[in-house]
Chain A
């Protein structure tokens, strides 16, 4: 069951959801499998059914930095929706993962052909990006750090 408000399918109307789902295929990844790397072409995206995926950023001379973990119901990847269709983070399976895989070209074509569906998808993806931006900004505050919300006045 996908029950989240931050998932792509969660709040799409049933018709739009079914149209996306008919194009999806079930895939699985083993723990440690690299799903995509920074700079590669963003030609697919996923919705996690089970397991978790880490998003990471390559830091020269050091181990990749883990930015965020995604889990059941979460959308993996949104760079497929906007030119230049290139991943700006990497993704790796943290545990065995089962996911629905969508072909970006197919979904973009569906969205072009059906503006109602296109708007619904773009809106959901924008909401998810907004949500992640808020989380990232809140984490920037280093809330649990010694000077939680920055130096006092």
Chain B
């Protein structure tokens, strides 16, 4: 873990949607310690500012990392705009990971909303790589419109190759959309999992996380097997500043991923 940003260089960028970009970065010299799925880096756009961003890919080659960033304000826009060859400063790895191993022997259920698919992508890859250790893999993703869906090609390949049950739903279908319309929780009806032996990994806007977790509880998934990622804003990422405090938890250190059994009572908290 570092307090001083380490220089990384953008080696590839791909525009995922109109406002979201995936950057693949590699260390200019020294690499940060290895990241686990669900952890995040503090990315510093020189001269603009620093933001927390989850890893959306952990590559073996040259310690590369992928980050998928949605431009919502000054810093995220600057990170999204970083050209190939440009340097960014990274600190990390921070936070708890998804801890996929908790699902060993049971069903894996991944539920993502919007940009929430980004932190789940390394988890999905790890689950596919570890096939045999888990029973069924369900991936349910919600997006605003078909054009807002992240990694559409990867999802299609995954669905076609059929190692997983993949279902996608949108809030607003455009003309020609033949997929599902509605909230991501509706896809749970059609997913194939045994609630008592399922570990769920949920990420998206907090209201979507709450709705999904409640639905899963209702179906019989144990609260401690519902892993949610709470990405409320944070500053120092090292557990010092208190900016991301949620009840007794400091989300940069005790989160972002936590069991629903721990965070359910805290999710009613309006402000930090």
Contacts and interface: CB of A to CB of B under 8 A. Distances in A.
Given A71-B189, A72-B190, A134-B211, A142 B171 contact: yes
Contacts of B148: 144
A65 to B, nearest CB: 9
A69 B72 contact: no
Interface in A127-144: 134-135, 138-139, 141-144
A73 B218 CA distance: 17
A68 B148 CA distance: 18
B143 interface: yes
Interface string B25-43: 0000000000000000000
A144 B72 contact: no
Interface in A4-44: 4-7
Interface stretch (A84-92, A104-112, A118-126, A145-153): A145-153
Interface residues on B, range: 20 to 34
Interface stretch (B101-109, B121-129, B200-208, B238-246): B200-208
Nearest to B142: A144
B192 to A, nearest CB: 9
A66 B211 CA distance: 22
Contacts of A52: 180
Interface of B: 19, 72, 113-115, 142-144, 148, 169, 171, 173, 175, 177-183, 185-186, 188-190, 204-208, 211, 218-219
Interface of A: 4-7, 52, 54, 63, 66-69, 71-74, 94, 134-135, 138-139, 141-146, 148-149
